[in-house]
Amino acid sequence: MPSFCEVALPVPLDRTFTYAVPEFEQPARGARVIAPFRNEKLIGVVTATGVAEPTEFAAKSLEAVLDDEPLLGEHLLELAEWIAGYYLAPLGEVMRTMLPLMAEVRRTVYYRITDLGRDVLAKSLDGDGSHSSRNKRAMNGAQFENDEGIDSESHLSNKRRSMNGARPDSGGTGQSIERRVLERLAAGERVKVSTLRLATSASLQVLASMLRKKLIARETSAVERDARRTERFAVLEADARLPVLTKLQQAIMAELAANGGELSLAELRQKELPSSTLQTLVKRELVRIEERAAAFRLGGIEGAAQPLTLNESQLDALASIVAKLGEFHAFLLHGVTGSGKTAVYLKAMQRALDRGQSAILLVPEIGLTPQMAGLLDAAFGSRVALLHSALTPEERTEQWRRIHRGEAPVVVGTRSAIFAPVPNLGLILVDEEHDQSYKQEETPRYNARDVAVMRAKLSGAVVVLGSATPSLESWQNSVQGKYTRIEMNDRVKNRPLPEVELIDMRREFQETGQEQLFSRSLVEQTRQALERGEQAIILLNRRGYSFAVICRACGKKLECQNCAIALTHHKPSGLDLIARAGQRLECHYCGYKRTVPAKCPECDSEHLYYLGAGSQQGEERLAEIFPGARIGRMDRDTVRGRHDLEHLLARLHSGEINLLVGTQMIAKGHDIHGVTLVGVVGCDHALSMPDFRAAERVFQLMTQVSGRAGRGELPGRVVVQTYYPDHYAILAASKHDFAAFGERELKYRRWMHYPPFGVLANVLIQSEKLEEAAGWSAEIGKWFQKTTPEGVRVLGPCTAPIARIKNVYRFHLILKASSRKALNAALRGALAHADGAGIPRRNIVVDVDAQRLM
Q: What is the pLDDT of residues 393-435, one digit of tens each?
A: 888 888 999 999 999 999 999 999 999 999 999 999 999 999 9
Residue 66: what are its φ and ψ, rounded to 5°?
-90, -25
Mean pLDDT of the chain: 87
Q: Strand order in 17-20's β-sheet? A: 17-20, 4-8, 40-51, 32-37, 64-65
302: Cα separation from own chain's centroid: 26
Whole-number percent of the chain with pLDDT over 70: 90
Measured CA to CA in angstroms, residue 558 lies from 72, 544, 553, 587 at distances of 49, 15, 13, 11
Judge contact between 711 and 495, C-beta under 8 A: yes
Q: How confident is the model at residue 167 (pLDDT cuts 50, 70, 90)?
A: very low
Quote the pLDDT of residue 445. Answer: 95
Judge contact between 230 and 294, C-beta under 8 A: yes
Q: What is the 3-state secondary structure (H, E, C) of 206-230?
A: HHHHHHHCCCEEEEEEEEECCCCCE
The total number of residues shown for the chain amounts to 854
- Comparing 776 with 227, which gets the higher pLDDT? 776
Q: How confident is the model at residue 18 (pLDDT cuts 50, 70, 90)?
A: very high
DSSP one-letter string for 615-670: HHHHHHHHHHH-TTS-EEEESTTT--SHHHHHHHHHHHHHTS--EEEESGGGGSS-
Among 290-299, 603-612, 819-828, the least confident range: 290-299
pLDDT in tens, 686-695: 898 888 999 9
Mean pLDDT of 601-617: 90
Judge contact between 104 and 225, C-beta under 8 A: yes
Is the pLDDT at 132 greater than 70? The verdict is no
Distance CA 641, CA 681 (A): 26
284: Cα separation from own chain's centroid: 50
Quote the pLDDT of residue 1. Answer: 66
Residue 647: what are its φ and ψ, rounded to 5°?
-65, -45
Quote the pLDDT of residue 368. Answer: 60
Q: Which amino acid is at 230?
A: T
Quote the pLDDT of residue 72. Answer: 93
pLDDT in tens, 631-686: 999 988 888 766 787 788 888 888 999 999 999 888 876 788 899 999 999 888 88
Q: How confident is the model at residue 269 (pLDDT cuts 50, 70, 90)?
A: confident
Whole-number percent of the chain with pLDDT over 90: 58
pLDDT in tens, 695-717: 999 999 999 999 999 988 899 99
* Three-class SS state of 4: strand
Measured CA to CA in angstroms, residue 85 lies from 15, 167, 844, 848 at distances of 11, 44, 16, 11
pLDDT in tens, 78-131: 999 999 999 999 999 999 999 988 767 777 889 999 999 999 998 887 765 544
Is the pLDDT at 580 greater than 70? The verdict is no
| Biggest alpha carbon–alpha carbon distance for the chain | 96
Is the pLDDT at 329 greater than 60? The verdict is yes
Quote the pLDDT of residue 151. Answer: 47
Peptide bond into 797 cis (omega under 30): yes
Q: Which H/E stretch holds residue 497?
A: none
Q: Which of the 8 DSSP states describes residue 43?
A: E
Quote the pLDDT of residue 817. Answer: 95
* Three-class SS state of 333: strand
pLDDT in tens, 718-761: 999 999 999 999 999 999 999 999 999 999 999 999 999 999 99
Judge contact between 341 and 312, C-beta under 8 A: no
Is the pLDDT at 253 greater than 90? The verdict is no
Distance CA 430, CA 433 (A): 5
Quote the pLDDT of residue 424. Answer: 95
Is the pLDDT at 834 greater than 80? The verdict is yes
Mean pLDDT of 312-330: 96
Is the pLDDT at 314 greater than 60? The verdict is yes
pLDDT in tens, 452-476: 999 999 999 999 999 999 999 999 9
Judge contact between 301 and 371, C-beta under 8 A: yes
Helix axis angle, 369-380 relative to 341-354, nearest 10°?
A: 40
Distance CA 115, CA 109 (A): 20
Peptide bond into 10 cis (omega under 30): no
390: Cα separation from own chain's centroid: 9
- Comparing 668 with 73, which gets the higher pLDDT? 73
Judge contact between 284 and 276, C-beta under 8 A: no
Measured CA to CA in angstroms, residue 723 lies from 74, 392, 484, 598, 682 at distances of 54, 44, 38, 34, 8
> In 10 A of CB 649, how many CB atoms?
25
Quote the pLDDT of residue 574. Answer: 46
Q: How confident is the model at residue 5 (pLDDT cuts 50, 70, 90)?
A: very high
Quote the pLDDT of residue 174. Answer: 60
Judge contact between 463 and 452, C-beta under 8 A: yes
Quote the pLDDT of residue 146. Answer: 39
- Comparing 319 with 152, which gets the higher pLDDT? 319
How many CA atoms lie within 13 Å of 34's alpha carbon, on the beta-carbon side? 17
Q: What does DSSP say about strands 535-540 and 675-681: parallel, antiparallel, or unpaired?
A: parallel
Quote the pLDDT of residue 313. Answer: 94
